[in-house]
Amino acid sequence: DAEITQSPRHKITETGRQVTLACHQTWNHNNMFWYRQDLGHGLRLIHYSYGVQDTNKGEVSDGYSVSRSNTEDLPLTLESAASSQTSVYFCASSDRTGQGGYTFGSGTRLTVV
């Protein structure tokens, strides 16, 4: 069965370190998205991609970067982790029509100490 997987599920890192969160999907979806979820803020879009070599900034992109070298993967990198980036991160994917909605991964809980 097709799926979307995130790794790791939990991560603790120190302030200032570079961290990369992985997202891999086997749906063959063109679109991939990264969100963070914090109490009181709902889901906030960090970055998204509509295809290979395409990346776009979302509403909270400062301090984050992504690259899309193939259809299956959209890794999220925190260039220099800060305590404000402690959050739960969700990856999602969708097809081009938009009619199927998103398929979400199970999330990565990141703690920056």
* Interface with other proteins (CB under 8 A): 31, 33, 41-43, 45, 48, 50, 90, 92, 94, 96, 98-107
Q: How far is the CB of 98 from other proteins (least distance, A)?
A: 5
Question: Which residue's CB is nearer to other proteins, number 31 or number 85?
Answer: 31
Question: Which residue's CB is nearer to other proteins, number 14 or number 59?
Answer: 59
Tokens of 3: 């799926």
Q: For residue 101, what is the enclosing H or E element? A: none
Q: How far is the CB of 104 from other proteins (least distance, A)?
A: 4
Question: Which residue's CB is nearer to other proteins, number 14 or number 40?
Answer: 40
Q: How far is the CB of 19 from other proteins (least distance, A)?
A: 20
- C-alpha–C-alpha distance, residues 104 and 111, integer Å: 21
- The residues, ordered by sequence, that sit 6+ positions from 52 with a Cβ below 8 Å of its Cβ are 68, 69, 70, 71
Nearest Cα neighbor of 64 from 73, 72, 55 is 55
